[in-house]
Structure 1
Amino acid sequence: MKTNQLLLAALLAAFTISCSGKKDNTDNYDINGAGNKAPKEEKASTRVDLESKGVGPITSVDIPDTIDEELAKTGEGVFKQSCVICHKVEDKFIGPAVKGVVDRRSPEWIMNMILEPAKMLRDDPLAKDLFLEFNGSPMSDMGLTEEQARAVLEYFRTL
């Protein structure tokens, strides 16, 4: 009986020690063991890439300095009708939050993602990274026109 109690106590102690919550910090170090911290890769949703235009029909967008309030209001309506099922303004949801997207992506990239999400996912490295970051949830093609996509872009500029 004492042997069983000692065995149980030893197993319990081993389990407690192995599950102590001590974090292994070796994942931040380079593989040669020199102790130099390797920078963690930035999430695709926060990475800034204003150079890429993505792939799709939009190769150039003329963006005025001032916001077209009427176009932005139209874009807000399109966003509420077609996009809120997966996107929130300030919070990550099924897809990334849209607030500040114009500070991280080019206007062409944004419009191409709205208009041709399947093509972007297939051919654009950043879109592929977003797909992975958001658990393999592809963005749906909502069948928007270029005018609607431009209006949504204008709405994003107001956020």
Structure 2
Amino acid sequence: MKLSRIMIVVSLSLAFMLSGCGGNGGGDNQQQTEAKQETESGLSAFEQEHGIGPVTETISLGDEIDMEMAQKGKEIFDLKCTACHKLNERYIGPAMNGVLERRSPTYVMNMILNPDGMVKNHPEAQKMLQEYNMSPMPNQGLTQEEARAIVEFIASDLTLNNGS
């Protein structure tokens, strides 16, 4: 009986000591947690950077914007996107100016083409959903060509000259 009490006391003491170990109270725990979330997300490195959707190759804008495509993108943006997005200010969704500095053109296209899948499976899209009061982006049924035209528009000087 006396031996079992000693074993219980020793076991409890050991458990308390071990629970107090681990972590230095600094930012390392947060970094470890973020790294663990990335690996647990099940996304490839490509999907982490460029999103989840039909665009599976890196899109590069090149040195010069295709102004004809950008004009088409402006028309699509004005028709399909302005209910939630403004170019120079936060609205229901994020402002579009500067989005290509924060996200790759491929990510933006995948967000346009697969908003449901992005919000469901991509950690950055999930953060954006929370930041914008749980207002999910609707799927507008656009083609890859139309999504690319919107990206060209966002990258063009037309963006800077539009007061939307």
Aligned equivalent of 2:63 = 65
Name whichever structure is richer in helix by fraction: 2
Q: Which runs of 5+ in 2 are unaligned?
A: 1-24, 27-47, 160-164
Counterpart in 2 of 1:85?
83
Whole-Å Cα distance in 2 between the matches of residues 137 and 62 of structure 1? 29
* 1:120 counterpart (118, 121, 126): 118
> Any gaps of 5 or more consecutive residues in structure 1?
1-31, 35-50
* 1:52 matches 2:35: no
C-alpha displacement at 1:85, in angstroms?
0.5
Question: In the alignment, residue 115 of structure 1 is paired with which amino acid?
Answer: L
Query: Partners of 1:118 and 1:144 in 2: how far apart?
Result: 14
* 2-structure distance, mates of 1:133, 1:149: 23
State the superposition RMSD in angstroms: 1.9
Structure 1 runs (4+) deviating above 6 angstroms are none
The percent identity for this pair of structures is 42
**Which amino acid in structure 2 is aligned with residue 154 of structure 1?**
E
How much does 1:62 deviate? 3.6
> Once the 2 structures are TM-superposed, how far is the Cα of residue 59 of structure 1 from its aligned partner?
1.7
Q: Report the TM-score when normalising by structure 2.
A: 0.65
User: 2:107: which partner in 1?
Assistant: 109
Structure 1 Cα separation of the partners of residues 151 and 51 of structure 2: 15
Supply the AA of the counterpart residue of 2:56. Answer: T
